[in-house]
Amino acid sequence: MIYTDTRDKSVKTDFRTAVINGMNKDTGGLYIPVSFPKLNPSFINKTPEPCFRDIAFEMAKPFVENEIPDNDLMAIINDAYPFSAPIVPVDKTSYVLELFHGPTCAFKDFGARFMARVMSYFNRNESTPLHILVATSGDTGSAVGSAFYKVPGLDVTILYPEGKISPLQEKQLSTFDGNVRALKVKGTFDDCQKLVKTAFTDETLREKLRLSSANSINISRLLPQSFYYMHSSLVVRNRSWADNKIENPDIIAVVPSGNFGNLTSGLIAKEMGAPIKGLVAATNSNKTIPDWIASGNYETRPSVTTYANAMDVGAPSNYERISAFYSLEQVRKMFAAYWLDNDGIVDAISSCYDKTGYTIDPHGAIAWKAWYDIKTSAMESLVAGQKNDIEKPGLVSNIPEWADSIVNKKAVGIILETAHPAKFGSTVQKATGNAPLIPDRLEKVMNLPDKAVPMENDYNKFKEWLLANLA
Ligand SMILES: *Cc1c(COP(=O)(O)O)cnc(C)c1O
């Protein structure tokens, strides 16, 4: 596969370069494949559907062609995914896709674990480790730390703002040993990011250490997230008749979104032949994308803090990819858009629990409520001519091309549940009255000793520490 760049289509590069560089320094653009490969229909139409790992292998193959041989790719996938993504029906036409069965209990495990193994593979003939520096405001750091832990040839340093992340998040970052360590910086997330950025541009440091990032914009985190869209849409297509007597339903993927990496992965799966008719962009009060779909104007803004804090993003980085692939008109045909404020999030968790018995986290709750509203009446009202005020939470006034199948009850929804509810226990308890059960792997982490190293918000001290401890 040849990769190009969102800002300059004359750029041509390979997978390895795209993965190691993360983004194109020369243009500031993001790497994208020049085209979308299609899976063979005989593979997609198998009954029963192929298993998750077989799908992962078939989907990854064209993207790494001539760079990672089949046997090595298979080994990477088997090692990355000892878990998969169960599909849980919560009513006849709603399926929750549980993406939290990885080690850190959030969907970022799917992308980060693939990226770590691919980087290790590309580093295999080097005599020195590749040093990953990552600044985190919470969840990314734990997914990256866990994904790279004990992966040969790689070494990870995580920077986080001391006292500004939740106690559970801190435990998930700071209890590693060996090749992964955390620095608790006396400063903000922006300070952490600045220390990392300064290090990347420091030539004297780079002479001593080979540095790379594990940023969420990396193409090797995006591609593997398409695997679970393909798998779940095939599972749902094959079981739908038995569940709801809808023949050939239109399948709608409902995606709680922040940087829109997950949703972009859904678009890749759709292009590769997944039976997905449309997508719902579901956000919290950081509604830059819903506003864009409603008004046609894309305006970034500072982020605001919400209960669904992994989606507190005012300038979603993957807008750049979505708008490189599609026109606004095409986006409006494919997407519905929906947003909720904090009161709406709490209400959504509690009504999901009341109506279905399912305990959902604050991020997934927005998606559940979006689908519930869309399929019960909100889309029908739009089709009948109602206009919704974009300043009020709910469905945005945009009628996608699949609106009729909603009105005619020919659609089913896949709701992406991006985190385990126990990661956001206090919000969930406030909504349902019950504290969610804590999975063993989270409980264990909570009892491990904290090994984070204190760090001043001072570049020279940070550099000294890196040279003394890593070089
Ligand atoms: C990161 C994250 C999201 C947002 O995903 P994007 O790819 O940035 O849109 C949603 N939910 C949870 C729990 C997350 O950790």
Q: What is the pLDDT of residues 412-441, one digit of tens each?
A: 999 999 999 999 999 999 999 999 999 999
What is the arithmetic mean of pLDDT over 289-299? 97
- Closest atom of ligand 1 to 423 CA is 13
Cβ < 6 A, ligand 1 pocket: 106, 108, 139, 256-262, 310-311, 363, 418-419
**Spacing, Cα 443 to ligand 1 middle (Å):** 22
pLDDT above 80 (res 459): yes
What is the arithmetic mean of pLDDT over 25-47? 93
Is residue 305 exposed (0-12), middle (13-18) or buried (19+ Cβ within 10 Å)? exposed
Dihedral angle of Cα 266, 271, 273, 277, to the nearest 10 degrees: 60
Question: How many other CB atoms are there within 10 angstroms of residue 94's CB atom?
Answer: 23
| pLDDT tens track for 84-136 | 999 999 999 999 999 999 999 999 999 999 999 999 999 999 999 999 999 88
**Spacing, Cα 270 to ligand 1 middle (Å):** 19
| pLDDT tens track for 240-286 | 999 999 989 999 999 999 999 999 999 999 999 999 999 999 999 99
**Spacing, Cα 313 to ligand 1 middle (Å):** 10
Residue 361, pLDDT score: 97
**Spacing, Cα 263 to ligand 1 middle (Å):** 10
Q: Using CA positions, which residue lies closest to atom 11 of ligand 1?
A: 418
Q: Using CA positions, which residue lies closest to atom 14 of ligand 1?
A: 310
- The structure's pTM equals 0.95
- Closest atom of ligand 1 to 419 CA is 13
**Spacing, Cα 469 to ligand 1 middle (Å):** 32
Reported as a pLDDT band with limits 50, 70 and 90, residue 165 is confident
Q: Using CA positions, which residue lies closest to atom 15 of ligand 1?
A: 310
Q: Ligand 1 test: best mutation among 98, 105, 108, most atoms within 8 Å of CB?
A: 108
- Closest atom of ligand 1 to 256 CA is 10
Average pLDDT score, the chain:
95
**Spacing, Cα 431 to ligand 1 middle (Å):** 21
Q: Ligand 1 test: best mutation among 144, 173, 262, most atoms within 8 Å of CB?
A: 262
Question: How many other CB atoms are there within 10 angstroms of residue 323's CB atom?
Answer: 14
Place of tokens 């290090």: 199
Residue 176, pLDDT score: 93
Q: Using CA positions, which residue lies closest to atom 2 of ligand 1?
A: 310
**Spacing, Cα 261 to ligand 1 middle (Å):** 8
**Spacing, Cα 262 to ligand 1 middle (Å):** 7
Name, in order, each residue with C-beta under 8 angstroms of 28's C-beta and a sequence gap of 6 or more.
7
